[in-house]
Structure 1
Amino acid sequence: MPFNGRAVHTKSTGTTDTKLARQKAQEFFSECLIEKGIRDGTLPVAREAVRKSQLRFDRIVDQWLDAISLQAGDDERRLRHWKDCRGTALGKTGFATYFGKADVNTITPERIQQFIAFKREKSTTGKLAATTIKRNIVLLNVALKFAYQARLLDRMPLMPKVRTKDNPRAWFEHDEYRKLHIVSRNKARGFRSKGDLMMADHWEELSDFIIFMVASFLRPGEWPDLRQRHVKVVSGVNAHLELAVTRSKTTQRRSVTMGPAVKVFERILKRQGSAPDAYLFKPGYHNRQTARERMADAFESLLAELGMKTDQFGHKRSTYSLRHTALMFRFVKGENVDILALAKNAGTSVDQLERFYLSRVNPADKIANLQSFR
């Protein structure tokens, strides 16, 4: 059916129910017939009806989600984003569900505030975290921009501002970090002396994992997909590893490590042998989410045993605290560290470093730098 510069037209039905899908398909087919008639000049009386259909917010959201899905392709990170958008928009208290068939031009700042109040009222506790409100407002704003760019929205409504409180993650002081990997290493030696090789490997791998994470600045979601072929050993004065981080929260990148990661990689090769497709950690788990969970369980068990589950401020520690530790060590112990280069290497931004990582830096640790003169 040639119109709008193409012959094939698609639309997601948003359902797995065959009967409902057929009904929606018939509706879409009818819309296409009407629009083609208007374009051809053979059905001018239906122009207003079609225009009203085009301005329905729920249909605009469907088109927006279809566009995100099309752009995502097979990219896992983009697909996760699409699923998050779909869940936020189409959930029981999602903005597409709330505004429904309303004309997109009737969505005003007042109505957006009413939507937030509705979502808060329908929540199990009667409260909404600031981050939840912000996520909904941000995605609603993106959907409205999609309508505006399609010339379906006359002007963008002002979005309410939401104040969120930054919650920097807990980290480990240097003596705490050493205690973690040394205790784990000693446990491995103890089990090896008893002939329990499985438990010895378990604790040795955990010790190596702790050292590797602090030396590499990786997020907990980035290490599971690392294979031996993603690692390049760079020898010399400043020996290090060059990592190809294929799965990242932001974008794929090349990242360099600190020196201790080299020894860890050598021990991994000694345990596993040279196998380019072998994963660095938890290689026996084909499901890498399960591998991540098992490593987190082992790490948190060690924290509990050593009484280190929280920091001195009561903030809970996790494997993410190792990344925080890595970045804090560079700032506290490094000399003239280039913050921009550090941020790029860690796959983050200077703003994020300042807000979530360096906000707990003790000025006394940098007193010489603070008092320095050119």
Structure 2
Amino acid sequence: MADTTNLSDPSDAEGATKAVDAPQRHRTEPIPGTLTEISGYPKKLKIYKLEASPYWWVRTFHNGKVYRRSTKTEVKRDATIFARSFYDQVISGRVMAPQREKDVVTFAKVAAAMMKSKKAQAARGDLTDMTYKIMDYRLKKTILPALGSREIASIHFEDMEELLNDLSHQNLTGSTINGYMKTAKSVFTYAYKCRDIPSVPHFPSVDADHQPRGYFTKQEYRRMCDRAEELIGSRFEYRKLMNDKGEEQLGQLFAEGDTKDGRLIRKTTITQELLDLIIFATNSYVRPTDIKNLQHKHVTVVREEHIYLRLNPPETKGHNEPFVTMEKAVEIYERLTAHNKKLGRPTGPEAYVFFPNYETRDYALKELERQFAVLMWDLNYGKGPNGEQRTIYSLRHTCFMFRLMYGEKIDHVTLARNGRTSPEMIDRHYASHLRGEDNIEMLQSRRPKKKAAAKKGAKGQ
């Protein structure tokens, strides 16, 4: 059984259980190994690549100052030609010298001033706490690493298009990308009001789609659980085959032993954790980030009139309030903890709930994502009926949909607060799936007549 789904292709990291102690490089710093000198020019002239941009950059020193600029090309040869021209312009004085740091109005400085103003608005009640937190999150996560050190007056349309391209490769929805771009634009608007820039640069347009989230029906959910249990211990291979021209194609999944063709990229073994993930996530509203970071100290088992887990994982998307699960999540949590203990894995307060044997938490989540991708391929569930992509995130969406479809008298505000989201998101991305037929009992219900109710009450006296 072969599939041409474009799965992620990072190489398997041996020793992923070891913690990485080296400090992370900033996205605007040169990537080691890419710094290249220009033949025939002084060694101080170099081109390099950085994580914050797809283009080559040029850097040189002159009169004790550093000059940098994007070459606006991904082709190394063209970047070399640009670097030579840039150097000649710097030496001849045709490129303005960088301002002293205290005179430079950077994007980060304007953003900090704007967020200070936004915080005051939130304190006055002119802005919701949630809006402030979302803006702060988006700035710190992506926008500041890409633009923070830049002089705001030097940022133009092509730079914003570069940011948009970067966001487009982060598996975000159109509406989320649009939110990031609006946050960036608000910084420029604030700078314009403060007379730091003469005008707000043009921004590339973003189609803010409102496509409903992909989720699984009750029948699909049951089939997923059954199949995940059946596949425990099975191994699969991700290989890259060659076409007739000898060119390597997109990766494909195969059951182990089905073929020896192509280049083996990695092997994936289905484990008990996949089944537990499916049931736990569909009964707990967790995001993939919560799964990655959830430790036992974040979990409280409550056994009172109702049985549930109270979860308080680290803040995600500006939300840090505890939330509760369905009763089924308690059973899975206790089963998973017993499973880890049996394997000799840590289960103390600081231990992680899923794959506590992996200290590198990104790798732990990647392992779950790979197993889930195999299951989607095996069941042909990778896309929903409307073409929406189904990932681990779809389990959270399924949790919301099951509450909306099968819960009694569920209101959007309560559901949103417990799911660490907003009522608007519930209405736009989850309730949009609902058909009248899904809640036919509610639509056909009738209030009791007042006279009948009064007569019934009199008889009971």
TM-score range, shorter chain: 0.5 to 0.7
- Given candidates 140, 144, 156, the residue that maps to 1:82 is 140
Q: Which residue of 1 aligns with 2:225?
A: 181
Please show how residues 247-266 of structure 1 align to structure 2 within 5 Å.
Answer: 247-266=315-334
Q: 1:82 to 1:318 in 2, by over 3 A?
A: same
8 Å Cα contact 2:229-2:275 kept in structure 1: yes
Q: Secondary structure at the match of 1:311?
A: coil
Amino acid at match of 1:61: F
How far 1:18 sits from its partner (Å)? 9.8
How far 1:96 sits from its partner (Å)? 5.4
| In 1: Cα distance, 2:105 partner to 2:62 partner | 16
Amino acid at match of 1:139: A
Amino acid at match of 2:430: Y
Q: Secondary structure at the match of 1:206?
A: helix
| In 2: Cα distance, 1:213 partner to 1:21 partner | 59
- Given candidates 381, 391, 395, the residue that maps to 1:308 is 381
Q: 1:18 to 1:203 in 2, by over 3 A?
A: same
Amino acid at match of 2:331: K
Q: Which residue of 2 aligns with 1:136?
A: 181
Amino acid at match of 2:144: R
- Given candidates 266, 269, 272, the residue that maps to 1:204 is 272
Q: Does 1:358 align with 2:431?
A: yes
Point out the structure with the larger helix share: 1
Amino acid at match of 1:140: K
Amino acid at match of 1:23: K
Q: Does 1:218 align with 2:286?
A: yes
Q: Does 1:23 align with 2:92?
A: no
Query: Which string of whole-angstrom CA distances, capped at 9 and with x for unpartnered residues, describes residues 75-105 of structure 1?
Result: 9x9677325113554799x985444xxxxxx
- Given candidates 298, 302, 313, the residue that maps to 1:230 is 298
| In 1: Cα distance, 2:367 partner to 2:379 partner | 19
Aligned residues: 301
- Given candidates 95, 99, 110, the residue that maps to 1:64 is 110
Query: Which string of whole-angstrom CA distances, capped at 9 and with x for unpartnered residues, describes residues 200-243 of structure 1?
Result: x9531111110100111111122111011110000133200000
Amino acid at match of 1:28: R
Q: Which residue of 2 aligns with 1:110?
A: none
| In 2: Cα distance, 1:284 partner to 1:244 partner | 21
Q: Does 1:291 align with 2:364?
A: yes
Amino acid at match of 1:64: V
Alpha-carbon RMSD across the aligned residues, in angstroms, is 4.3
Amino acid at match of 2:224: L
How far 1:333 sits from its partner (Å)? 0.3
| In 2: Cα distance, 1:69 partner to 1:304 partner | 44
Deviates more, 1:22-31 or 1:58-67: 22-31
TM-score (norm 1): 0.67
How far 1:359 sits from its partner (Å)? 0.7
How far 1:176 sits from its partner (Å)? 1.0
| In 2: Cα distance, 1:350 partner to 1:234 partner | 26
How far 1:328 sits from its partner (Å)? 0.1
Q: 1:95 to 1:318 in 2, by over 3 A?
A: farther
Point out the structure with the larger strand share: 2
Q: Does 1:329 align with 2:402?
A: yes
| In 2: Cα distance, 1:244 partner to 1:62 partner | 31
| In 1: Cα distance, 2:282 partner to 2:427 partner | 19
| In 1: Cα distance, 2:144 partner to 2:404 partner | 39
Q: Which residue of 1 aligns with 2:212?
A: 168
- Given candidates 341, 345, 351, the residue that maps to 1:278 is 351
8 Å Cα contact 1:88-1:136 kept in structure 2: no
How far 1:136 sits from its partner (Å)? 3.0
8 Å Cα contact 1:89-1:96 kept in structure 2: no
Q: Secondary structure at the match of 1:309?
A: coil
| In 2: Cα distance, 1:138 partner to 1:65 partner | 10
Runs (5+) with no aligned partner, structure 1 = 1-13, 32-57, 100-114, 192-198
Amino acid at match of 2:110: W
Runs (5+) with no aligned partner, structure 2 = 1-27, 31-58, 67-96, 118-132, 167-172, 236-266, 342-346, 448-461
Amino acid at match of 1:356: H
| In 1: Cα distance, 2:307 partner to 2:361 partner | 29
Q: Which residue of 1 aligns with 2:415?
A: 342
TM-score (norm 2): 0.55
| In 2: Cα distance, 1:285 partner to 1:159 partner | 42
Q: Secondary structure at the match of 1:264?
A: helix
Q: Secondary structure at the match of 2:301?
A: strand
| In 1: Cα distance, 2:376 partner to 2:428 partner | 26
- Given candidates 435, 441, 447, the residue that maps to 1:368 is 441
Q: Which residue of 2 aligns with 1:46?
A: none
How far 1:69 sits from its partner (Å)? 11
8 Å Cα contact 2:108-2:144 kept in structure 1: no
How far 1:304 sits from its partner (Å)? 0.8
Deviates more, 1:175-184 or 1:16-25: 16-25
8 Å Cα contact 2:111-2:187 kept in structure 1: no
8 Å Cα contact 1:170-1:315 kept in structure 2: yes
Query: Which string of whole-angstrom CA distances, capped at 9 and with x for unpartnered residues, describes residues 92-126 of structure 1?
Result: 9x985444xxxxxxxxxxxxxxx489949x979xx
Q: 1:325 to 1:158 in 2, by over 3 A?
A: same
Q: Secondary structure at the match of 1:223?
A: helix
Q: 1:373 to 1:264 in 2, by over 3 A?
A: same
